[in-house]
Amino acid sequence: MRYRRLGRTALQVSELCLGTMNFGPETTEADSWAIMDKALELGINFFDTANRYGGDKGAGATEEIVGRWLAQGGGRREKVVLATKVFGAMTDWPNDGRLSARHIRAACDASLRRMQTDHIDLYQMHHVDRTAPWDEVWQAMDTLVQQGKIIYVGSSNFAGWHITQANEAALRRHSLGLISEQSHYNLLVRTIELEVLPACRHYGLGVIPWSPLSGGLLGGGLNDADTARRRNPLALRRMEKLRPKLEQWEALCGELGEAPAAVALAWLLAQDGVTCPILGPRTMEQLEGASLRALDITLEPDTLKAIDRIFPGPGGTAPEAYSW
């Protein structure tokens, strides 16, 4: 396993991040623990969760699974860079969601209790809150840093101008500001290349792509035996709509002699500014499969051009992408 600095910080995280969204609703607690143990064994030291994760088990259930795993000791907490998120409504009460200073501080305390830890390494805003002034957001985050409850602050699903607003406001307060952005990014969804990636490079944010395989479509989806996906009408319609591109994609990966999932992850790792894609395994096999192979793949310039022909990006960075 190789490690990269997370943005402009000195913090070292593995080139693959373990996402935990399936832990609880899709993966049993015992299997979730086994996956986390295996991830550590493989050298993956960056675990990502969110206070809303839990699905039909209820908001917070995934953090509780992570917490009971950490509580087993054995150096688990010391080895893991632990990331979680705040924004989504935790109850029906009006102040139990979004990014008011009140909710940020209360939600952090609740996440700490669920995960049975005294601090969160990376506390991420799961979405921008257009009603929350940045001074209010940073007042809460700065307080949590001063109290030792969080170390770094990140964002997720922010636009480029939100990143600019947030970091300029932090600069005025002499705060460290955002150090990472977790974005929807894969070969089928490349819009962050217009403004989010340039903003992250400018401000020194590490980019953490979520859904790197686009729900499995980039992982050999045409021949996927995953019965859950086959039963999903929306996924099937999307697969059929994209079939011409996916056929070209899988043929190219076949010529390379590599699994499509591995090549898709290797492509992300080759993008300037990307720190580590998030893996979201439901099973041990998904963790141990092609994702690890991605770390050993170097995509040559001709291969990168061939991939761009199949999945063209938005045309470069803004404004040149849509202007002269």
Hey, which residues are catalytic here? 53
Q: What are phi and psi for residue 279, nearest 5 degrees?
A: -90, 140
Q: What is the CA radius of gyration of the chain?
A: 20
- Structural tokens at position 95: 């102040």
For helices 61-70 and 101-115, angle between their N-to-C axes, nearest 10 degrees: 50
Q: Cα–Cα distance between 7 and 20 in angstroms, integer?
A: 22
Q: Which residue has the tokens 């997370």?
A: 6
SS3 146: helix
- Residue 55 Rama label (left phi>0; alpha psi -120 to 50; beta): left
Strands of the sheet containing 150-156, edge to edge, are: 206-210, 178-184, 150-156, 120-125, 81-86, 46-48, 17-19, 278-279
Q: Which residue has the tokens 């994760």?
A: 53
Residue 147 identity: Q
Q: Cα–Cα distance between 30 and 35 in angstroms, integer?
A: 9
